[in-house]
Amino acid sequence: MVPINLETAVDVGRVGTLAVRALEPMLRGDDIAFVVKFRDNYDPDRLWASYESLLRQNPALQVVLRPFGKSFSWVSIDSAELNAALDRQRQRFPQFFSFEELLSPAHALTPPLPVRISQMGGREVCFQMSHALSAGRGVLQWVICWVAAASGESVPVGQTAGRFDSTAPLTGLALLPFYLLGYLARAGLNHARETVDLTRGKTPIPHDKGYASRTYRFSEPETNRILAKARALDLSLTQYLCLAAAEAMLSAQPEKSRVGIAVPTDLARYSPGFPRAVPGNYTGTLLVQLRRGAPLQSQIARQFGWLRRGVDYWLFRLLAAVSRSEQRFVNNDARVASVPVHRRGPFRNVSCLVTNLGVITAPASWGIESGTGTTKSQTIIFTVFTLNGCLTVNVTFARDLYDPEEVFRVADAALGGLRTSKRGSDSEVVEG
């Protein structure tokens, strides 16, 4: 068995990649997808040329994940493999696909390239990258590099190696037992039947039916009102979205009293100088559980306070330690993925996932009108970011596990809760 070496903090990225690898057979792919809609200056040939240039100038994107004994390794591909892969993608690029088609098993990313672009019609292009290769914010940086290159800016060369020097507070390690015990105590012995579960107890099967997706876009004035209301509650945008999602889910299943929310975190923030181009999924998780009968706002604020202590980082280090080997870690994650949500332990019994990719400012010269993004997951995933002052929220989930009508009804209620007034003409809902 190949041990997970805790002497090097860089293994937190490897642990994230292992988690993606374990779920890939169930999720039918491991890609993160970002859609960029361009204005009237849309030129597919120019966009393809900038994409090809990005790949050829960046060895960090010329890699494939291959088995190595009972482990795996990122291996560089040779120029012949790169040329052949780009030729296949170039032949496919003139075709048009919907967002949901690109998330389907038939269009899952295939080796040797961990990245691809596809046209969607309506001046939209989808940029997909393996989640095993990078976290969401890392993928977003590559998207920005690609679009900037299409506007004539130079293409940066990403470093393929680096040392992860963690700045995570050691107090987080000391407090980790208290965090874990407190979480278990709040979950209680009856969390299985008390937690909101929109899968309705279904046993997971490989997601061959693909994913349902819907994007909610808000105008700049409406975004400002949402941010102002969040500040008035002393909440961040991520916390405010957790509040809205929790309220909507508790309303959808009034017989339930607990909502579990997984919040992905950026572990790279603990090593500011670490190159994001280094292969590995540096994504941590904050687990938030909210109970009916107590103010949700204060529950959220209190649990997000653990991030200041670096608990998300130390949780991943602990996870690696107790797994003892890479193969055991992958096997355990794959086993849990096949178990109904309500039968999982309290740390895996979650109702949804909320991720915030931050604020993106795109110069007018890039010609970007709007965008959206998501990744494949076993739960309902809310992906939020702000582009040029306008908030975008995407909701995506597996059709095998969820009833689209019910989930979108809950999503409508949750995002309606973000607003200070009823939806008006300055907001937009786009089906996948």
The tens digit of pLDDT for each residue in 83-133 reads: 999 999 999 999 999 999 999 999 998 889 999 999 999 999 999 999 999
CATH number corresponding to 170-431:
3.30.559.30
The residue with tokens 């995933």 is 381
CA separation for the pair 309, 176 (Å, rounded): 9
SS3 120: strand
Q: Return the axis-axis angle of helices 220-232 and 237-252, rounded to nearest 10°.
A: 90
CA separation for the pair 93, 128 (Å, rounded): 13
Find the helix or strand (DSSP H, E) in which 431 lies.
strand 427-431
CA separation for the pair 2, 338 (Å, rounded): 24
State what percent of residues in the chain have pLDDT above 90.
69
Are 105 and 207 a contacting pair, CB within 8 Å? Answer: yes
The confidence score (pLDDT) of residue 432 equals 65
The confidence score (pLDDT) of residue 4 equals 38
The confidence score (pLDDT) of residue 8 equals 42
Token duo for residue 203: 């046993």
Are 11-150 and 170-431 the same fold in CATH? yes
CA separation for the pair 213, 122 (Å, rounded): 17
All structural domains of the chain with their residue ranges: 11-150, 170-431
Could you say which DSSP state residue 294 is in? S
Given a cut of 70, the residues of the chain with pLDDT beneath it are 1-11, 70, 155-163, 419-432
Counted residue by residue, the chain has a size of: 432
CATH number corresponding to 11-150:
3.30.559.10
> Edge-to-edge strands of the sheet including 368-375?
115-121, 124-130, 31-38, 368-375
